[in-house]
Chains A and B, each alone.
Chain A
Amino acid sequence: MTVLPQGSEISRRRLLQFGAAAGFLLGTGSLAGCAGPTGLPGPSTLTLALNRSLVSLDNKLNQFDAAVTVQRSVRQGLTAIGPETKPVLVLAERFEMTGPTEWTVTLREGIRYSDGSPVKIEDVSTALKMYKQVQGSFVAGFFPEFPAVVPVDDRTFKMVSKKPVPILDSLMSMILITPAAQNKPEELQEGVGTGPYMVTKFNRGAGTYSLKRNENYWGPKPEIENVEVRFLPEESSRVIALRSGEVDIIDSITPDSREQLAGLPGVKLKEASSLRLNQIFFNFRKPAGHPLADPRVRQALSMAIDGEALVKDVLVDSVTQAEGVTPSSLTGYHKTGEYVYDPEKAKATLAELGVKNLTLKIIWETGEFPSDTSVMEALVEMFGAIGVKAELQQFEPGGNILAWRQGKQGDWDLLGNGYPSPTGLAITMLQGMYSGTPEKEKTRDTYQGYVIPEVAAKIQAASAEADPARRTERLNDAQQAVWDTWPCAWAFVPKSVLAHRERVSGINLAPTNSYPLVDVRLEA
């Protein structure tokens, strides 16, 4: 065996020195980074953390709550849903119904995009076209028809439809305006808008956006110069980032996190009623003769549910029980009744109706609403207390709950689900959930098989009514008709909750779970 020459040996001391030096370099590399800011926002920078990745700066395909705040700070519509869930003027200085099927709109004078180019009528007509053309459009479904844009002069145009669309001013809040030449029938991830901020940098993969004050903004200039948008999918990460001061605002907070953040120094909470109705909805595809096909059985089952206990103990006051078929925050809401807890009456009614050995299958998708599993487990106990057995089947996101909901994969009795009204109107929710027709049911495009022609006719009459007073009357009538069919065993309205650092003020949280970034201030 050849012995290596001794002169070339590496001493242990030298190796340890080398190791220490390498460790020092590694350490100082990191520490050098830490010597600067440790991720805390600067005095003129607001940092928001979203729970979903903002992959688009318009909402052609999807609109989730937190994105609305950012999207509308870059791009704007002719109108927006205001704090009272009524449409307010944004890019339009006039937006009024001038005929049964005609609206007259005038653009604000001198409004420009962030690149300095003027807003034109053509941009509005192109935006409508693009929202209509995109496959799987989120927005298109809310429009009974897309109106034609007929220019009158440079700033004024008419929006003409074949049938009356009395809620067009609300619907147009969802159409964000972009220069016609840059608009495409797909989600836009960059480009210019008319909002108070403009995008300077973004990383779609990481979900981060950097916004800067738009000097061409037509309204009062925002006080905050820069806004950083980050994507933190895990709620625990968002809470920690807020507590450490790394992030200024987090939203879409669950009851657990709300409890954790309440009363913490330096952190404040904001709440608003939301535009979403969460329900335990009955399956309306049951054949005649099935117990659930009888509204009296459905009403009796609803009496088994102790809604107050669920609100207080399970959902920790983060929701309110519904007292109608839409959330009370919606324009056009009508109080139709209350969910009453009376298990004795429930038992007696079921016995009277000859319902015995009833077993209910409850299905839902994880994350449909906060504490979903706990709510469902409580329901099993409550139904059990009146002699009704309940089974639970939970689906993971991305799974095949849709096939189940449509009755293609298996039978079920109750569904945990939620339905939003981004327009802020009760009629939108009524049309989406309760306007099912036999034709739609053929393709399983109704809301869990809810096809009641009298109800659909009342909703249709209300939606086509141009006279506000008569529309309200018809709307109330339609909502009462829905309530009387007992579509839900229970329903509740979640509150929108956000948390922010003390240095942030001017957050006017609306029921849309969004707030105008232009109003937000940073204290020293």
Chain B
Amino acid sequence: MTNYILKRLGQGLLTVFLTVSTVFILIRLAPGDPAVSYAGPLATNEQLARVREQFGLDRPVLEQYWIFLQQLFTGNLGTSYSFQAPAMQVVAERMPYTLTLATASILLTAVVAIPLGVWMSRRPDTGKELGVNVLTIAGQSMPDFWTGIMLLTGFAVLIPIFPASGFATWGGLVLPTITIAILQIALISRMVRREMTANFAAPYLTVARSRGVKNSVLTWRYAMANSAIPVFTALGTRFAAMLNGVVVVEVVFAWPGVGSLIVRALETRDYPLIQATVLLTALLAVAVQLVIDLAYPLLDPRVRLGKAATA
């Protein structure tokens, strides 16, 4: 178990390292000049040269990369050009907002999608199941910016129950959470339904049913237990993805998370801020994936981490 964790940690850190290194190269290949974003369009070439010198942008890329690596291991990724503050600090100020939104969205998704998926799997080919199926397809098809604007118009302007933007009160969490969750619920509930349907058709369940095991036990202790791993993995993966910021939703609701931050950082070619955002979100995503992996034995006792599964 310890070896497995160490191995996965090593893989995770290597993934993070390769990610931030790739981003380091890519942003420098992109057109645009951070010095211009920093000093403005009226700056002279001499001023721009001084700004490039100040931030080390006039040095060879390899030297910049070496400095970046040194900074990486000290956790200090330099000063954000646009915020004039340590880049890691700026990202850390935004991260709680993203974590809050991601956690609320994934909890709402789990609480609604799992029972809904089970409910659909227990009523195959019925009118009710067809109706819910149509709703989930609609949920999957609606772009989140449209859903967000509709919810905003409905519940922030026409019937002003919730705030329209930001996170000044807890009410501000409701509309963006629902906007994100609608799509996730549609996807996860259909996945749960598919997994459960497959398990209901499996021979072990037919045997259990013939031995008189109650439907509720068949559903939750047999079929759900065997469907748990893919569903839990999907939820975890979506949560990890949300940690990179739900850009569109953040923009629609003016949610001050890392998604809108990285968009701004890219627009202004704020290298330290881009790198800090990528580093922090990649670390979090890797940590979430590790937690998911470690949770497998809890969901299915047959799973042995680091070894071939035994039946």
Residues on B with C-beta less than 8 A from A208 are: 166, 256
CB distance A233 to B174 under 8 Å? no
> Which 3 A-B pairs give the minimum distances between C-beta atoms?
A33-B170, A205-B93, A39-B163
Contact A245 B165, CB 8 Å, known A55-B82, A240-B152, A399-B32: no
CB distance B211 to A39 under 8 Å? no
Give residues of chain A (24-61) contacting chain B, Cβ–Cβ below 8 Å: 26, 29-30, 32-34, 36-39, 53, 55-56, 61
Binds B, one of A8-16, A193-201, A292-300, A450-458: A8-16
CB distance A230 to B166 under 8 Å? yes
In the complex, A186→B160 CA distance in Å?
Answer: 42
Q: At the interface, yes or no: B37 with Cβ under 8 Å from chain A?
A: yes
Contact A29 B170, CB 8 Å, known A38-B161, A141-B44, A237-B254: yes
CB distance A136 to B97 under 8 Å? no
Q: At the interface, yes or no: B191 with Cβ under 8 Å from chain A?
A: no
Q: Which of B32, B39, B91, B269 contacts A136 (CB 8 A)?
A: B39
Contact A39 B168, CB 8 Å, known A56-B84, A237-B252: yes
A15, A244, A398, A443 pick with most chain B CB within 10 angstroms? A398
Q: At the interface, yes or no: B290 with Cβ under 8 Å from chain A?
A: no
Residues on B with C-beta less than 8 A from A15 are: 115, 220
Give the residue name and chain of the B residue nearest to A10 (CB): B220
Q: At the interface, yes or no: A231 with Cβ under 8 Å from chain B?
A: yes
CB distance A398 to B37 under 8 Å? yes
Q: At the interface, yes or no: B54 with Cβ under 8 Å from chain A?
A: yes
Binds A, one of B17-25, B63-71, B238-246, B260-268: B260-268
Q: At the interface, yes or no: B162 with Cβ under 8 Å from chain A?
A: yes
| Cross-chain pairs A/B with CB under 8 angstroms, 16 sampled | A9-B217, A10-B216, A22-B111, A26-B107, A30-B171, A30-B174, A30-B177, A34-B162, A38-B162, A39-B166, A39-B169, A56-B84, A206-B166, A398-B37, A398-B267, A402-B33
CB distance A9 to B160 under 8 Å? no
Residues on A with C-beta less than 8 A from B204 are: 1
State the B residues within 8 Å of A (CB).
Answer: 31-33, 35-48, 50-51, 54, 82-85, 89-94, 97, 104, 107-108, 111-112, 114-115, 149, 152-153, 156-157, 160-166, 168-174, 177, 204, 207-208, 211, 213-217, 219-221, 251-254, 256, 260-261, 264, 266-269
A226 → B minimal CB distance (Å): 13
Q: Which of B91, B93, B264 contacts A233 (CB 8 A)?
A: B264
Q: At the interface, yes or no: A359 with Cβ under 8 Å from chain B?
A: no
Residues 304-315 of chain A: 1 if any B CB is under 8 Å from the residue's CB, otherwise 0? 000000000000
Q: At the interface, yes or no: A357 with Cβ under 8 Å from chain B?
A: no
CB distance A399 to B216 under 8 Å? no
Residues on A with C-beta less than 8 A from B31 are: 399-400
CB distance A206 to B94 under 8 Å? yes
Residues on A with C-beta less than 8 A from B173 are: 30, 33
B151 → A minimal CB distance (Å): 11
In the complex, A137→B269 CA distance in Å?
Answer: 18
B213 → A minimal CB distance (Å): 7
CB distance A38 to B171 under 8 Å? yes
CB distance A141 to B42 under 8 Å? yes
In the complex, A245→B114 CA distance in Å?
Answer: 38
Q: Which of A30, A141, A237 contacts B164 (CB 8 A)?
A: A237
Residues on A with C-beta less than 8 A from B83 are: 53, 55, 204-205
Give the residue name and chain of the A residue nearest to B152 (CB): A240
Residues on B with C-beta less than 8 A from A445 are: 44-46
Task: Give me 14 other A-B pairs in contact (C-beta within 8 A), A12-B216, A38-B161 excluded.
Answer: A9-B220, A39-B164, A135-B47, A135-B50, A135-B51, A136-B48, A203-B256, A230-B166, A237-B165, A244-B156, A397-B267, A400-B33, A402-B33, A444-B45
In the complex, A495→B5 CA distance in Å?
Answer: 62
A207 → B minimal CB distance (Å): 7
